[in-house]
Amino acid sequence: MSSQLIEAVLNSSERTNLRQFASQLRTSEKQYLLRNEILTVFNDYCQTHDISEQFIRQSHLGKLVSCIQEIIVDKESLCLVIRPRIAHEEAYRLLEDMTIVPMSVSDLLDLRDRLVNRYHPNEGDVFEIDMDPFYDYSPAIRDSKNIGKGVAYLNRYLSSKLFQDPRQWQEELFDFLRLHRYNGYQLLINERIQTQRQLSDRVKQALTFVSDRPKDEPYPDFRFDLQALGFEAGWGNTADRVRETLEMLDQLIDSPDHQVLEAFVSRIPMIFRVVLVSPHGWFGQEGVLGRPDTGGQVVYILDQVKSLEQQLRDELILAGLDSLAVHPKVIVLTRLIPNADGTLCHQRLEKIYGTTDSWILRVPFRDINPTITENWISRFEIWPYLETFAIDAERELRAEFGHVPDLIIGNYSDGNLVAFLLARRMKVTQCNIAHALEKSKYLFSNLYWQDIEHQYHFSLQFTADLIAMNAASFIISSTYQEIVGTPDSIGQYESYKSFTMPDLYHVVSGIELFSPKFNVVPPGVNESIYFPYYNKDERLEGDRQRLEELLFTLEDPAQVYGHLEDTSKPPLFSMARLDRIKNLTGLAQAYGQSKDLQERCNLILVAGKLRTEDSTDHEEISEIEKLYQIIHEYDLHGKVRWLGVRLAKTDSGEIYRIIGDRRGVFVQPALFEAFGLTILEAMVSGLPTFATRFGGPLEIIQDKTNGFYINPTLPEEVAQIVITFFDQCQQDANYWQKISQAAIERVYSTYTWKIHTTRLLSLAKIYGFWNYVSHENREDMMRYIESLFYLLYKPRAQALLEQHRQR
């Protein structure tokens, strides 16, 4: 597609325009231009040469430029990195005589190295990582629109192959059903059924038996009759539920269908013990939210655990296993921090509130260097301790479960690496959830990694990401664009497809984006904490009064900076960490630059800390200083309240509702947001929500229907979009309510934890089933991944450990 577009330009009168545009690029000061810069230069070129808007939109050259992601100016040529469609990238060299030459991935990576003076051809080739050969034997999705729907594709693909040989299919299914046990107790079928043919006959006998019984008759009342036929517990808790499940099995034996197969496998009791891994610390239920490296991830996992345990419990009850004292257990694995700073992070076991048998299990890092390991360690510094942590954690998990877990879910880069190590050792299904990958958040972080290695250690993090994402049985993303972006922007996982770490390695192919391991399963909100502002009966009057005072009138320099001259104005509200990506200072600047916006509303920020001396995080310190500077520069005194507090989750829920009481709005101005839980929290509370167009919010919000998109890099535009909303509210008394109600309905229809955990467990079962029946030998891939761990990751982790020892 790209080559055809280039040829169309070169074989037309537009060839002259391309030559002129290329000349303008060569005379620019920049050697490396990204998409927005390329579009700006092209627009400047068109204005200079009096070229029409129609040409920009409809010409071959205009279409070509719109597809270019990068341009590297290299002596006598230009390198054009073109993304003609989602998940596809091509590179070409445009010579001065307008000759176009395709570039290989290796050539492109060499050029990027040369750009930063890190290309050393006389010293030999750089190490290349290529995962492509290990995906050759796996099915691959063809249409990029279906990326993120991996399990649906896998079901159709493998079912069609397996169902072609009925005898093989029936034997595979029979063998799989015989596998399942709980604490040594046989489930589903017993030794009275010895062959797949016998299974088919007995299913029909059992169907006749249960069909004659009352629909709601409890399983224990006819348990022994089913046992005599060869069926153990696990088919259902009532006669009707057992009949439904057996009918699915009967259909699969006689006339298999991939949709019935998915429904049937989702009912099989396969998962009883689940581990969620989040090592980097400050993981607790009190006193940790909002600390560096925690916040959203802790909230996400705790909410997920509660829903996960409930879903497991509901499924086991429906399977008829509660009568046999079969109960789920969920453990969040994190690190124990001896110097816990007043939190419970030094406590080995902590029961998770609102659960029956879910726990936070904290395992300490080995006491290699007490001045480091007895304290909190940043997620950027944690890498030397993860391998031994995984070894120690395996022992602790086996002790807690009395068994190996059935599913391990990693979270973030460090958690996914530990999940890989544990799953490899215990031969368990591994699920990855990344939330946000740092590589996408920090521009050119791989290209200039050596310049920032002392601060971020991205050589370790990006290597860990490559290892974990390829090793995972399946990967859950919150949005489609988290995987492959949009037509205009590259996705988080897509950024790992090919890249260079100069002087370290080249990634020729880091991940197969069309692999069916990717599935979009968005998170939900905790509906007991975040609910619409008009649900008065569920709100506590004492909390409302206390928090209203905190938001609007409390004078306490330890908690609040600024006062409001006119508290009757609707609040423009935001709540996030004070770091560069969250961009609260950008929102303050947009507010400060707009007198019209200041006249319409007050700005209220809940942003962690007020004083630089209370923080050890360099980004947070910088943003604190910047926020004070903006308030003073634009004289926002009397219009801004900055709350430097850590809020309990219940308080944050009530604060959203108080903003709703006053017909306020929520703004999420992040420069990039992988998903955006605060967006869901605000929307389900009933707040009209304005959120960044860079990342997950594009899939949560439907613009101007249940919320609004903003470009946080354009402060004037941000202000104008909010002003237009408030103007519309003045013209239409029902407009605020209309957007509010649409936001609430959007969350309840799509973003609940019930939906999330139902899908998560279904995926875990289906991938477990297909891993068994497909007999796919992944050992070659796993050995290659282990080589990356021991030859690349581990030596660098040990080098960082030596640095820690010298502190």
The structural domains of the chain, with segments of one domain joined by +, span 2-103, 164-255, 273-524+760-805, 536-751
Report the pLDDT value the prediction gives residue 5, as an integer from 0 to 100. Answer: 86
The pLDDT tens digits for 449-481 are: 999 999 999 999 999 999 999 999 999 999 998
Q: How far is CA 592 from CA 51, 177, 251, 643, in A?
A: 37, 65, 66, 18
| Residue 120: predicted pLDDT | 78
Tokens of 681: 């929290």
Write the CATH number of the domain with boundaries 536-751: 3.40.50.2000
Give the range among 421-425, 561-565, 646-650 with minimum mean pLDDT.
Answer: 646-650
The mean pLDDT value for 553-577 works out to 93
- What pLDDT is attached to residue 704? 94
Could you tell me which residues are beta bridge partners of residue 561? 642
Amino acid (1-letter code) at residue 93: R
Strands (E), 66-189: 68-74, 77-85, 88-95, 100-103, 128-130, 181-182, 185-186
Q: What pLDDT is recorded for position 455?
A: 92
Mean pLDDT over 317-324 rounds to: 92
Query: In CATH terms, are 2-103 and 273-524+760-805 the same topology?
Result: no
pLDDT at 284: 93
Mean pLDDT of the chain: 92
For position 194, what pLDDT does the model report? Answer: 94
Q: Which of 8-17, 540-549, 601-610, 787-796 has the highest mean pLDDT?
A: 787-796
Q: Residue 564 — very low, low, confident or very high, per pLDDT cuts 50/70/90?
A: very high
The owner of tokens 């072609």 is 164
The CATH architecture one would assign to domain 2-103 is Roll (3.10)
pTM for this one? Answer: 0.88
Interatomic CA distance for residues 495 and 439, integer angstroms: 8
Alpha-carbon span 17 to 345, nearest angstrom: 63
* Integer CA distances (angstroms), 433 to 94, 184, 518, 760, in order: 40, 31, 10, 11
Output b/e per residue, 510-530; b: 16+ Cβ within 10 A: bbbbbbbbbbbbbbbbbbebb
Reference 750, options 518, 528, 523, 529; nearest CA is 523
Query: Average pLDDT for residues 137-159, to the nearest whole number?
Result: 89
pLDDT digits over 84-108, tens only? 999 999 999 999 889 999 999 999 9
Beta bridge partners of 79: 72, 93
Q: Cα separation of 284 and 743, whole Å?
A: 30
Give pLDDT, residue 513. 96
Tell me the two tokens of residue 682.
Answer: 């605000």
Core vs surface per residue 477-493: b (16+ CB within 10 A) or e: bbbbbbbbbeeebbbbb
pLDDT (tens digit per residue) in 210-251: 999 999 999 999 999 999 999 999 999 999 999 999 999 999
Taking domain 164-255, whether its CATH number is 3.40.50.300 is answered by no
Whole-angstrom distance, CA of residue 32 vs CA of residue 72? 5
Cα angle 505-506-507, degrees, rounded to a multiple of 5:
120
> Helix 239-254 crosses helix 196-211 at what angle (to 10 degrees)?
140
Residue 290 has a pLDDT of 65
90: which strand partners?
A: 82
Q: Which whole number is the average pLDDT over 308-321?
A: 96
Specify whether the backbone of 487 is left (phi greater than 0), alpha (psi in -120 to 50) or beta: alpha
Q: Which of 327-336, 540-549, 768-777 has the highest average model confidence (pLDDT)? A: 327-336
Is residue 78 within 8 Å of residue 40, measured between CB atoms?
A: no
Asked if residue 615 has pLDDT above 80, the reply is yes
Alpha-carbon distance values, 625 to 321, 336, 579, 622, 641 (Å): 58, 33, 11, 5, 16
* SS3 state of residue 181: strand
pLDDT for position 118: 84
Q: Is residue 121's pLDDT more than 80?
A: no
pLDDT(263) > 90: yes
Question: Is residue 53 scored above 90 in pLDDT?
Answer: no
How confident is the model over 372-416, as pLDDT tens digits?
999 999 999 999 999 999 999 999 999 999 999 999 999 999 999
At 153, the amino acid letter reads Y
Q: Over 80: is that where the pLDDT of 289 sits?
A: no
Q: Rounded to an integer, what distance in angstroms lies between the CA atom of residue 253 and that of residue 171?
A: 10
> What distance in Å separates the CA atoms of residue 758 and residue 315, rounded to the nearest whole number?
9
Nearest to 530 by CA among 293, 299, 701: 299
pLDDT of residue 287: 83
**Cα(685)–Cα(538) distance, integer angstroms:** 12
In this predicted structure, the answer to whether residue 370 has a pLDDT above a threshold of 80 is yes
Identify the sign of the CA torsion 230, 236, 241, 247. negative
- Is the pLDDT confidence value at 489 over 70? yes
For the record, the structure tokens of 20 come out as 């002129």
3-state secondary structure of 148: coil
| pLDDT score recorded for residue 1 | 60
Pick the CATH number of 273-524+760-805 from 3.40.50.2300, 3.40.50.300, 3.40.50.2000, 1.10.8.590: 3.40.50.2000
- Distance (Å, rounded) from C-alpha 720 to C-alpha 728? 12
